[in-house]
Chains A and B, each alone.
Chain A
Amino acid sequence: MDRQGQLDLALRGSRAAPTLKVSDLVRRIRDTLDANLDEFWVVGEVSNARLAPSNHFYFTLKDDRASINAVMFRSAFVRVRFKIRDGMEIIARGRVSLFDSRGALQLYVEEIEPRGVGALQIAFEQLKRKLAAEGLFDAARKKPLPYLPRTIGIVTARGGAGLRDMLRILFDRFPNLRVILAPTRVQGDGACNEVARAIYDLNREGRAEVIIVGRGGGSLEDLWCFNEEVVARAIYHSRIPIVSAVGHEVDFTIADFVADLRAPTPTAAATMVVPSKRELRERIAADDASLQMAMRRAIDELRETADDLASRLRHPKKLLAAARERLEDARRELHAAVAARLADARRSLRENAAGLRAPTSILREQRLRLSRLALQLAHGMERRAKEHRAVLGAAAARLDSLSPLKVLDRGYAVVLDAASGRAVSDAAAVEVGADLDIRLARGRLQARTTAREL
């Protein structure tokens, strides 16, 4: 046996204690705890609260002198109906046991209840009710954020992680921006007044088009400044729209309720406040392309309409052509019909040619009859003329015997008044000296009255 062995033996001998493996020891401690500590209720303040990805809830339960690690498994945690936060006084039911692999004591919590409400929580609820009643949270008075702010006011700690995150995101989204930082402390005594004053200062300065007020994440106490009335009122009275950006995902601060827009983190605030310049460029370019396309399409459509109208304008011409064609057809038909009728007529004329000889024979007969009648007429006329001539001859002989010229032949004369040409049968009608014309059977004599006898 070597010296070490002897020493061990000596120690064991002197203390009369067994030698154990670590796992045996831990198991025995756990068994002792389990056997002697039943379930109990324990009162304390929560700190280091965190929800593991497994949804087991880990925290430290403490009072002013001691602390113990605690875990609430998912199955128990899902039944908790309130939000467990650092600083909260709670009462927990559970038991203590040993976490074997680390040999660490742990409080295994089955049930948890709030133990009263912390002073901060009471203050928070009271202020929230008061400001809500005053209308500081009214949606109607919330100002719209500018679409494209070129000057951004920021109220936060210079050099803080929140500022770095915001500047990075802001310039990433819009490389040419003007940022006006109104630096303040964001925790500790007096920080609230600084934040409020910074908001007033940015309003006085006037260039900022939107203001981000915030800070990165922290404990409830760290963020308390943003639950103060002076900050709430400063936000409320700001003419410039304000985005609250207090780095805590879950809970709202009073500042969040008053702000025109609440962002869960400074990074998110920067994203909300400034549009992406690249996206805007792309949108303008897309609009530009749409404009060109729309114009082209409009022109195409108008051209199509014009073409359509033009084709309809040609239509009457087509109609005319069709009409002309119809006319031509009709003319052809007419010619054909006329020709056919002529042919028909000719054919029937030919067919009736024999019949046409009868009229000529009738004509000949008539002519014969006519000449017979003419002959009879001529004979009749001659006979009548002979008769008339005989009557005329007798009358003429009688007339000849009565002619004064026959009397004259027998030595009588006719005395005519030379002036009047009248036959003188009364001497009283002739003055002495009047010229007389004496007609004899042959020739005339001129005589002057030398005397008369009545």
Chain B
Amino acid sequence: MASKGRKFEDELKDLETLVSQIDAGELTLEESIGAFERGVALVKSLNQKLDEVERKVEMLTRDAEGRLESVVLQGESEGGSNASAADADDEDVSF
């Protein structure tokens, strides 16, 4: 249930469904315990998913042959507030 392939929002929805199912008291004790265990696993998976990706700003560029390349921009990943002078000019440079 809490597998890596599943979407965050689906897992979140599942978790909230499980909570309301247990809450509604429509499950047997065994089902409740099963639902609870799945819920605990979902909480763990959801929290992991929130931390899955590393903070990074990349820039997509094309080389002469039109091949795409992505370069990590060091400054901007800190919040993008310290753009260099060259960056600032970019808007006005015509190709």
A interface, size bucket: 35 or more
Render B24-45 as a binary contact track against A, CB cut-off 8 A, 1 for contact.
0101010011001001100100
Q: Which chain A residues in 258-291 approach chain B with CB under 8 Å?
A: 277, 280-281, 283-284, 287-288, 290-291
Whether B58 pairs with A159 at a CB distance below 8 angstroms is no
Distance A175 CA – B54 CA, assembled complex (angstroms) = 9
Distance A164 CA – B40 CA, assembled complex (angstroms) = 39
Least distance between A419 CB and chain B CB atoms (Å) = 118
Render B49-80 as a binary contact track against A, CB cut-off 8 A, 1 for contact.
11111111111111000001010010011011
Q: Which residues of B contact A217 (CB under 8 A)?
A: none
Render A155-172 as a binary contact track against B, CB cut-off 8 A, 1 for contact.
001111001101110010
Whether A288 pairs with B53 at a CB distance below 8 angstroms is no
Whether B94 pairs with A188 at a CB distance below 8 angstroms is yes
A221 within 8 A of B: no
Distance A377 CA – B39 CA, assembled complex (angstroms) = 119
Whether B43 pairs with A176 at a CB distance below 8 angstroms is no
Looking across the interface, which residue of chain A has its beta carbon closest to that of B53?
A150
Distance A160 CA – B68 CA, assembled complex (angstroms) = 22
Q: Which residues of A contact B56 (CB under 8 A)?
A: 177-179
Least distance between A301 CB and chain B CB atoms (Å) = 6
Looking across the interface, which residue of chain B has its beta carbon closest to that of A298?
B32
Distance A279 CA – B54 CA, assembled complex (angstroms) = 19
Whether B58 pairs with A290 at a CB distance below 8 angstroms is no
Q: Which residues of A contact B32 (CB under 8 A)?
A: 295, 298-299, 302
B46, B80, B87: the one contacting A284 at CB < 8 Å is B46
Whether B90 pairs with A297 at a CB distance below 8 angstroms is no
Distance A281 CA – B49 CA, assembled complex (angstroms) = 11
Least distance between A223 CB and chain B CB atoms (Å) = 14
Distance A116 CA – B76 CA, assembled complex (angstroms) = 46
Kindly count the residue-residue contacts between A and B in the assembled complex, taking CB atoms under 8 Å apart. Answer: 160
Q: Which residues of A contact B2 (CB under 8 A)?
A: none
Render A178-212 as a binary contact track against B, CB cut-off 8 A, 1 for contact.
11111101111110001000100110110000000
Whether B90 pairs with A148 at a CB distance below 8 angstroms is no
Distance A201 CA – B62 CA, assembled complex (angstroms) = 9
Looking across the interface, which residue of chain A has its beta carbon closest to that of B36?
A295
A106 within 8 A of B: no
Distance A189 CA – B94 CA, assembled complex (angstroms) = 8
Q: Which residues of B contact A297 (CB under 8 A)?
A: 22-23, 25
Whether A187 pairs with B91 at a CB distance below 8 angstroms is yes
B50, B58, B95: the one contacting A277 at CB < 8 Å is B50
Whether B29 pairs with A148 at a CB distance below 8 angstroms is no
Least distance between B30 CB and chain A CB atoms (Å) = 11
Q: Which chain B residues in 7-28 approach chain A with CB under 8 Å?
A: 7-9, 12, 15-16, 18-20, 22-23, 25, 27
B40, B46, B55, B83: the one contacting A175 at CB < 8 Å is B55
Looking across the interface, which residue of chain B has its beta carbon closest to that of A193?
B95
Render A47-75 as a binary contact track against B, CB cut-off 8 A, 1 for contact.
00000000000000000000000000000
Interface core residue of A147, A166, A295, A301 (most chain B CB under 10 Å)? A295
Distance A177 CA – B49 CA, assembled complex (angstroms) = 12
Whether A185 pairs with B7 at a CB distance below 8 angstroms is no
A321 within 8 A of B: no
Whether B23 pairs with A302 at a CB distance below 8 angstroms is no
Whether B23 pairs with A284 at a CB distance below 8 angstroms is no
Looking across the interface, which residue of chain A has its beta carbon closest to that of B94?
A188
Q: Which residues of B contact A187 (CB under 8 A)?
A: 91
Least distance between B20 CB and chain A CB atoms (Å) = 8
Q: Which residues of A contact B89 (CB under 8 A)?
A: 159
Distance A284 CA – B8 CA, assembled complex (angstroms) = 11
A167, A194, A287: the one contacting B15 at CB < 8 Å is A287
B19, B47, B54, B58: the one contacting A294 at CB < 8 Å is B19
5 additional A-B pairs beyond A291-B15, A302-B29, beta carbons within 8 Å, are A159-B87, A171-B77, A180-B59, A185-B92, A198-B60
Q: What is the interface of chain B, defined by CB distance below 8 A to chain A?
A: 7-9, 12, 15-16, 18-20, 22-23, 25, 27, 29, 32-33, 36, 39-40, 43, 46-47, 49-62, 68, 70, 73, 76-77, 79-81, 83-84, 87-95
What are 27 A-B contacts with C-beta separation under 8 Å? A158-B83, A167-B57, A168-B80, A176-B53, A177-B56, A178-B55, A178-B57, A179-B58, A179-B77, A181-B73, A183-B59, A186-B91, A198-B60, A205-B60, A277-B50, A280-B46, A287-B15, A287-B16, A287-B39, A287-B43, A291-B15, A291-B36, A291-B39, A291-B40, A291-B43, A302-B29, A302-B32
